[in-house]
Structure 1
Amino acid sequence: MNIKKSLVIAFSAYGCFLFGQEKTIDTVYIFDSQMSRVKRFHRVNAISTEDIRKNSSSLSELLRFQSPVYIKENGRGAVSSPSFRGTSAGHTAVVWNGININSNFLGQADLNNIPLFGYDRLEVKSGGGSVQYGSSAIGGSIHLNDQLEFGKGFQGSLYSEAASFGTYINFAKAGFSNDRFSFKASANYSISQNDYEVKEKEYINRNGRYYNTTFNLGTSYKLSSHHIISWQSQMFDASQRYPIFVENGNKTKYNAQTLRSLVAWDFRQSSFTNSLKAAYTEDNFQYFGDIDQPKTSGADGKNYIIKNDLNYFITPKINVNAIGEFQVNTAEGYQSGLGSIRRNMGSVAGLLRYFPTEDLRFEAGVKKDFVEDITSPVLFSFSGKWNAVKWYSTGMNVSRNFRIPSFNDLYWKQGGNTNLVPETSLNVDMDHEFRFGSLKLTLSPYFMHIKNYISWLPTPYGYWAVFNTYRVDSYGLESQVTYEKQFGKHGLKLNGGYTYARSINKQTDKQMVYVPIHKAVANIDYRYDFLRVYVQGLFNGLTYTTTDEKKADALDPYFVLNAGVSGTLNKKYTLGLKVNNITDTVYETVSYYPMPKRNYSIYATINF
């Protein structure tokens, strides 16, 4: 039978906390408990499992078409970096189950070396979040979360897709749970010859082959009605070949392996919860200057993490949250400019939340990081949200965030600089949300001032070196419109967004490179009974690739249109067809690396 707790404090319909409600709170166990609190003050966009299938080739493709994130990709399947609101990839945090997984070597994430399948929740948060999620959470954060359900019995699914350019994607997931025990496992294998051609650019994606394999395991057990122990693990192995421009060019490749394992012990009562987590992660890579020869260079990175998150309601209207974390980061380079590295770092954060009425809430946070051999600033955040009237609500967020120098920034030989200080930012943004029946419109103006920008620059000595350089002001507007309506057997869903981004180097007063001033996305879904049709579009404006705003070298604006149709029988069997880049648009997200023109895929899903 389901274990129920008398919840002394629970979220009301408006997101505040009230006494005396009865609610089943342990049917689902969520590894990132902090995210449920973040959503009460910040706009977070969730991407559903069904939406993932629209753009299933990679995490890069998914975020390009279904989020405000700009994706810079060196051709399909190659190195890919995300950026929010005119910032860089180093100002974007990728968070796995509450743990920041940006590479210690680069200080950022390669999205094509992060698996797409296997998560239960994929969420995107714009704006600063270093108090909760640490270094790099300046422009925004991407959250990859798992959950474990209880009392569901056996569940499973199979997904298989065949697509253009010799692309095959297979994903399997199965789980079992009763009232006290939950277990889930999944596996994904993706491979592509990736040999597409763009005749208008006289380009063939030679040596573009890639593959990756992922295994996910998770389990949870209720020791009692108040205690839950859980474990989640992910193993990922991938290989990318880097495109060459001529048939007899030198063929290279990059292999990567990651391991993430997280053990959690949660204690839950009506007004008090505590989550203790211990995590171990590995981030290893090997570069091959010749695909037929032994590795040319590489590095192995290991992280040991312990984190505690305590949450307590002093009164029904006052909540305190204390977060402590300690890490040991180690790395060993192999002919890569890095030697043997060990770094200790920790942090202490406190947040106070106040709910004076059902329609008004406030949150204030402060955090201090302690990074070995680096002086880190005191961080802070303040957020408020007000449901002014039934059809309008507003929120404001002010925060100080940071990015610590990466291992490459500090220790690369030659060019590393151990005297670097962290980048810091002051972020201010607002949310204005309007509701008109089934239509919701959100307008989010923002401003960021980033100082001590970390840049690699050429030196008179013939090599590149890294320095704290200029300041950057980023400002603009993010907007989102959603509409969902059911008419008998007919269903219509719209999700669109527009982003205006100005990111100015204060030294030159020019737009930062690879920051499109305009970006817009739209996804329209129509359902009738068992049939589903969708259309999605992406517009990307002029994007400068040089620091002097030279239009001759800029990426031209482009519009890409995708569509798909699928049918589902007995809620178990789905067969679908997708057509990407219907208009045969020629476009690039990085200079000299065109993306594919029109291409196709078919897929099938079985749920049991």
Structure 2
Amino acid sequence: MNIKRSFVLFCASFTASLYFSQEKSIDTVYVFDNQMNKVKLFHKVATLSSADIQKNAFNLSEVLRFQSPVYIKENGRGAVSSPSFRGTTAQQTAFVWNGININSTFLGQGDVNNIALSGYDQMEIKAGGGSVIYGSGAIGGSIHLNNDLSFDQGFSGMLNSEIASFGTYTNFAKAAFSNDKFSFKVSGNYLISENDYKVPESREYINRNGKFYNTTYNVGISYKIANHQTISWQSQFYNAIQNYPIFEETGNKTKYGSQTVRSLVSWDVKNPTISNSLKAAYTEENFQYFGVFSAPKTSGGTGKNYIFKNDFNYFIHPKLNANVIAEFQVNTGEGYKSGISEISRNVGSAAGLLRYFPTKNLRFEAGIKKDFVEKITSPVLYSFSGKWNTTKWYNININFSKNFRFPSFNDLYWEPGGNPDLKPETSVQGDMDHEFKAGNFTLTVSPYYIKIKDMIRWANTSLGYWGAFNTQNVESYGLESQLSFEKQLHKHHLKINVGYIFTKSTDLELSKQLMYVPLHKVFANADYQYKFLKLYAQAMFNGLTYTTSDESRYYALDPYCVINAGISATILKKYILGIKINNITDTIYQTVDYYPLPKRNYSVTATINF
């Protein structure tokens, strides 16, 4: 089929006037993901600012490992890395860039260490299913990389440099200008690392051939064409090379190249009753694998996506809001020595959400969605959420949803092993957030349940190669909890967050815990500021983690705890100098068997704001 058609949608203005206060406070800021403020009314969302991200400026894996409930499986520092969210897999975590799902059309997932980290204004982490709004793959959760553009702010800029252990150098620059009608922001980042760390206590490990580098450029423009109309553009360009570690000096050196382009144009109309956001986006992924370091590429591919999305909100009544979202995509791909020839797939969807605010302290949302995926039969998806602020000290959220992931290009067409008869993965899930407040303390306790059907797995075949099959049904349940404390006393400011996650994720056929899903995880972050001085500390504990499907204790990863700490000083209001110590206790640990991560290491940073 070669049908290229776009869905034009109309949908409903989002908030009743009593809930518009949140948007009014930021009405001089254009936010590319216009759905996120609505999502936060019904779901728990963790928000990391650019300052939080900077604490782990090395890579996205470090940010998620120390500042979120997500488990990160990393094949050595800076190498292939994938997330596990609520006991699901990397393919069941959606990466969303400014409201657009950017999971690879080939792999069906995002490689965490090949997603740019710098240049975002905030990162948001949403637990639980979100396919009604954010599409295929949003089963375990979604990770949102967001940019915004402010008006009436004049000129500002920043230069940041970091020198770290293992020959690591990072340089980041950002500049922005805006007046009452025009806003512009540009940033660039360059990171390079020899990455030659050693862990002699773990099989005399040396991270040979571990070098990597990447560059990122971001540019954003927004213009108010009328009082209630804005047209905006955001683009990102990313280029990276990763060398894959080898265990012996005589081993064959390999490497992997990745280049991505993302560009988004948005026309937004907004007034107190009706709002509409029309987006057109282009995303491109290119990758090359070099089986011999200095030889021509062994395999590779190019994927291009053309995306049209319309989000229409209508404020039917001060207590009733309707929202209709339609999206159409053309996904194309061409492989190199993978058996994948030129392929094209049309994907469309239509979703409707209804939000009802009967009282100031009570709100409900119901959603339904149908996807139309060429040559794939997709289910009808649904979601229901409710939030009740019962008292000043206790709130409760309830969420139910059906979500899915359709097969990737590799799942369908890779030769040998691709399976064109695959069915999409589907899941049903429910969770409940209990939030307690007492003074400066906030405690959130979130039990959840997920059941996944027809999970796609690659398994060995009788013909000696690996193939894709709908073989696995998985049940995952657990508990996410977080305790936070924040206190301002004169010139002293203290903020502490501690999270505990219990995850039981079982292959129902084997009745065993899934591989690389720890039963227990704890993460903690503490920030203290006094005048010009800032101190922070991070801690992360992972419990026993099985690396085989039979729960073999012999091959399991032992529990470990890693602690980082940093200090910075602001001089003359513009200059910031900082030092950070990673893995203070010199812990020997690994998130993937045979690939230990670094022992104690250091970094020094310098920042100029102007």
TM-score range, shorter chain: over 0.9
Query: Is 2:16–2:315's contact at 8 Å kept on the other side of the alignment?
Result: no
CA contact (8 A) 1:17 1:355 kept: no
Task: Please tell me whether the aligned partners of residues 454 and 473 of structure 2 are also in contact (alpha carbons under 8 angstroms).
Answer: yes
Alpha-carbon shift at residue 570 of structure 1 (Å): 3.4
Where does 1:311-322 land on structure 2 (aligned, <5 Å)? 311-322=313-324
2:14–2:323 Cα contact (<8 Å) kept: no
- What residue is the counterpart of 1:59 in the other structure? 60
Q: 1:150–1:179: 8 Å Cα contact kept in structure 2?
A: yes
> 1:300 aligns to what SS in structure 2?
strand
Could you say which residue in structure 1 is the equivalent of 2:607? 605
Q: Is the 8 A contact 1:8 1:270 kept in 2?
A: no
Among 400, 417, 420, the alignment partner of 1:418 is 420
Give the structure 1 partner of residue 155 of structure 2.
154
CA–CA distance in 1 between the matches of 2:166 and 2:424? 43
1:45 matched residue in structure 2: 46
Separation in structure 2 between the aligned mates of residue 406 and residue 8 of structure 1, nearest angstrom: 33
Preserved CA contact (<8 Å) 2:176 2:185: yes
- CA deviation profile, 1:288-311 (whole Å, cap 9, x unmatched): 111111111110000000000001
Say if 1:498 and 1:518, in contact at 8 Å, map to a contact too: yes
Q: Is residue 2:309 matched to residue 1:307? A: yes
Paired position in structure 2 for 1:356: 358
Give, in whole Å, the separation in 1 of the partners of 2:318 and 2:131: 27
Q: Aligned partners of 2:101, 2:287: CA distance in 1, in Å?
A: 19
Residue type of the alignment partner of 2:314: Y
> 2:330 & 2:51 partners in 1: Cα distance?
38
For the residues of structure 2 that align with 1:398 and 1:573, how far apart are their CA atoms?
A: 48
How far apart in 2 are the matches of 1:22 and 1:107? 34
Query: What do the CA deviations read for 1:469-495 (whole angstroms, capped 9, x no partner)?
Result: 121000000011111101111111101
Aligned pair partner of 2:241 in 239, 242, 256: 239
Which residue pairs with 2:475 in the alignment? 473
Aligned-partner residue type, residue 260 of structure 1: R
2:208 aligns to what? 206
Give the conservation status (yes or no) of the 8 Å contact 2:14–2:315.
no
Distance 1:123 1:133 in 2: 13
Q: Secondary structure at the match of 1:409?
A: helix
RMSD: 1.3
Distance 2:400 2:47 in 1: 23
Size of the aligned set, in residue pairs, is: 597
Q: How do 1:176-195 and structure 2 match up within 5 A?
A: 176-195=177-196
In structure 2, the CA distance between the partners of 1:32 and 1:22, relative to structure 1 (3 Å rule), is: closer
Cα–Cα, structure 1 residues 9 and 433, in superposed 2: closer, same or farther, change >3 Å? Answer: closer
- Contact 2:65–2:71 at 8 Å: present in 1 too? yes
Alignment of 1:429-444 (within 5 A): 429-444=431-446
C-alpha separation in 1, matches of 2:165 and 2:17: 47
Q: CA–CA distance in 2 between the matches of 1:8 and 1:143?
A: 20
1:324-339 equivalences in 2 (<5 Å) = 324-339=326-341
Mapped partners of 2:152, 2:138: distance in 1: 36
Aligned equivalent of 2:598: 596
Alignment partner, residue 559 of structure 1:
561
Match of 2:374 in 1: 372
1:445-484 CA distance string (max 9 Å, x none): 0000000010111111011111101210000000111111
Q: Judge conservation of contact 2:16–2:320 (CA < 8 Å) in 1.
A: no
Deviations 1:4-62 (A, max 9, x none): xxx996664xxx468xx994653100000000100000000001222112211000011
Q: Which residue of 1 aligns with 2:528?
A: 526
- 3-state DSSP class of the match of 2:86? coil
62-71 or 52-61: bigger deviation: 52-61
| Alignment match, 2:117 | 116
Letter in 1 for 2:111: D
State the AA in 2 paired with 1:372: E
Worse-matched range after superposition: 464-473 or 389-398: 464-473
Contact residue 410 and residue 418 of structure 2 kept, 8 A: yes
Indicate the percent of aligned positions where both proteins have the same amino acid: 66
Q: Match of 1:3?
A: none
* Equivalent AA in structure 2 for residue 120 of structure 1: D
- Cα deviations by residue, 1:308-346 (Å, 9 ceiling, x for unpaired): 000111000000000000000000111123211100010
**Residues 1:137 and 2:138 are matched in the alignment:** yes
Superposed CA offset, 1:268-293 (max 9, x none) = 11111000000000011001111111
Partner SS, residue 132 of structure 2: helix
Aligned residues of 2:432 and 2:446 also touching (Cα < 8 A): yes
Contact 2:255 2:291 in 1 (8 A): yes
Q: 1:493 is matched with which residue: 492, 495, 507?
A: 495
Distance in 1 separating the partners of 2:23 and 2:384: 31
In 2, Cα distance between equivalents of 1:24 and 1:82: 34
Q: Give the equivalent residue in structure 2 for 1:580.
A: 582
Change over 3 Å in CA distance of 1:392–1:41 after alignment to 2: same
- Call closer, same or farther: CA 1:551–1:23 in 2, change over 3 Å: closer
Task: Report the CA distance shift for 1:143/1:23 in structure 2 as closer, same or farther (over 3 A).
Answer: closer
Which secondary structure state, in structure 2, belongs to the residue aligned with residue 309 of structure 1? strand
C-alpha contact 1:17 1:317 (8 A) present in aligned 2: no
Secondary structure of the corresponding residue to residue 355 of structure 2? strand
Q: TM-score, normalised by structure 1?
A: 0.97
1:284–1:273 distance in 2 versus 1, CA, 3 Å: same
| 2:8 paired residue number | none
After TM superposition, the score normalised by the length of structure 2 is 0.97
- The equivalent of 2:285 in structure 1 is 283
Residue matched to 2:546? 544
Q: Distance in 1 between matches of 2:108 and 2:369?
A: 20
Distance 2:48 2:520 in 1: 22
Q: Measured at CA, do residues 22 and 141 of structure 1 come closer, stay the same or move farther in structure 2, by a change above 3 Å?
A: closer
Query: Which whole-Å CA distance do the structure 1 matches of 2:23 and 2:193 have between them?
Result: 51
Aligned residue for 1:455? 457
Structure 2 residue identity aligned to 1:74 = N
Q: Tell me the SS of whatever aligns to 2:390.
A: strand
Q: Distance in 1 between matches of 2:159 and 2:47?
A: 22
Could you tell me how far apart the structure 1 residues matched to 2:132 and 2:200 are? 48
Partner Cα separation in structure 2 for residue 90 and residue 497 of structure 1: 24
- Distance change (3 Å), C-alpha of 1:479 and 1:9: closer
> 1:244-283 alignment to 2 at 5 Å?
244-283=246-285
Instruction: Confirm or deny: 8 A CA contact 2:16 2:318 kept in the other structure.
Output: no
Alignment partners' CA distance in 2, 1:425 and 1:497: 26
SS of match in other structure, 1:185: strand
Counterparts in 2 of 1:480 and 1:56: CA distance versus 1, 3 Å:
same
Quick check: 1:273–1:312 contact (8 Å CA) kept in 2? yes
Gaps of 5+ in 1: 1-6
Query: Match for 2:65: what amino acid?
Result: R
Match of 1:559, SS? strand
Q: Does the 8 Å contact 1:17/1:316 carry over to 2?
A: no
Moved over 6 A (4+): none
Q: Distance in 2 between matches of 1:121 and 1:454?
A: 32
Structure 1: distance between partners of 2:483 and 2:339 = 47
Give the SS at the match of 1:55. coil
3-state DSSP class of the match of 1:64? helix
Cα distance change, pair 199–11 in 1 and its aligned pair in 2 (3 A): farther
Which residue type is aligned with residue 342 of structure 1? S
For residues 51 and 345 of structure 2, the distance between their equivalents in structure 1, rounded to whole angstroms, comes to 41
Aligned to 1:227: 229
- What is the identity, as a one-letter code, of the residue corresponding to 1:572? K
Write the distance in 2 (CA, Å) between the matches of 1:411 and 1:575: 51
Q: Report the counterpart of residue 388 of structure 2 in structure 1.
A: 386
Which of 510, 529, 532 is the equivalent residue of 1:508? Answer: 510
